[in-house]
């Protein structure tokens, strides 16, 4: 009953799947992708036990996804948390000029060149990016609050802000439930499903 994230939604109504262990080993990435996976995992957890097993890293988007789990296992040394948002862009025009490479741009729309590497953000664009990042951060904290709620040892804002924890620290702060690896997570999920004989 251990499945790939891409198949989470398909497993909700599969009677042969009694419980799901979602293995997360990710330093994060796209907030949109994380939210899509979080929604799918949350819906699945409404129909059968969902246990999260964190690998070496489950931070930022990796923790975002994990927050959908009713029970979260982490290794003592798992890097996790990093509840925050980072954004921006690199300006590489000087490098291309130095290399003798030039570009011709054609833009349609006021902010079509928002992420162009040829110029810095305008003040208006910077404000737009800041608003977007703040909204994403609020959404991230909301997902964590929904999943962890009163299990957190302190106010979420004191644990967020991009702070990174080991699995042991995360357990002490209520960001994860138990220390253990994939095998322990599978055994726990089987017990939650009330089964003693199972295939993985």
Q: Which residues are designated catalytic?
A: 60
CA distances to 19, 164, 169, 187, 190 from 197, rounded to whole Å, are 12, 37, 33, 10, 8
State how far the alpha carbon of 188 is from the alpha carbons of 19, 154, 164, in Å. 10, 26, 26
Among residues 61, 105, 95, the alpha carbon closest in space to that of 114 is found at: 105
Angle 13-72-33 from CA coordinates, rounded to 5°: 65
């Amino acid at each position: 009953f251990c499945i790939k994230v891409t198949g989470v939604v398909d497993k909700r109504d599969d009677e042969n799947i009694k419980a799901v262990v979602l293995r997360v080993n990710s330093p994060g990435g796209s907030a949109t992708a994380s939210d899509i996976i979080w929604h799918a995992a949350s819906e699945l957890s409404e129909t059968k036990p969902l246990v999260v097993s964190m690998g070496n890293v489950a931070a930022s988007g990796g923790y975002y996804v994990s927050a959908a789990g009713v029970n979260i296992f982490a290794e003592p040394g798992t890097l996790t948390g990093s509840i925050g948002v980072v954004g921006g862009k690199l300006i590489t025009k000087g490098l291309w000029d130095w290399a003798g490479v030039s570009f011709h741009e054609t833009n349609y729309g006021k902010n079509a060149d928002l992420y162009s590497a040829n110029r810095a953000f305008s003040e208006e664009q910077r404000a737009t990016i800041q608003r977007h990042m703040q909204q994403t951060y609020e959404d991230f904290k909301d997902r964590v609050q929904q999943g962890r709620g009163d299990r957190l040892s302190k106010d979420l804002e004191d644990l967020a802000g991009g702070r990174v924890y080991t699995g042991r620290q995360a357990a002490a702060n209520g960001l994860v439930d138990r220390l253990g690896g994939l095998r322990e997570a599978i055994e726990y999920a089987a017990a939650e499903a009330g089964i003693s004989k199972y295939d993985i």
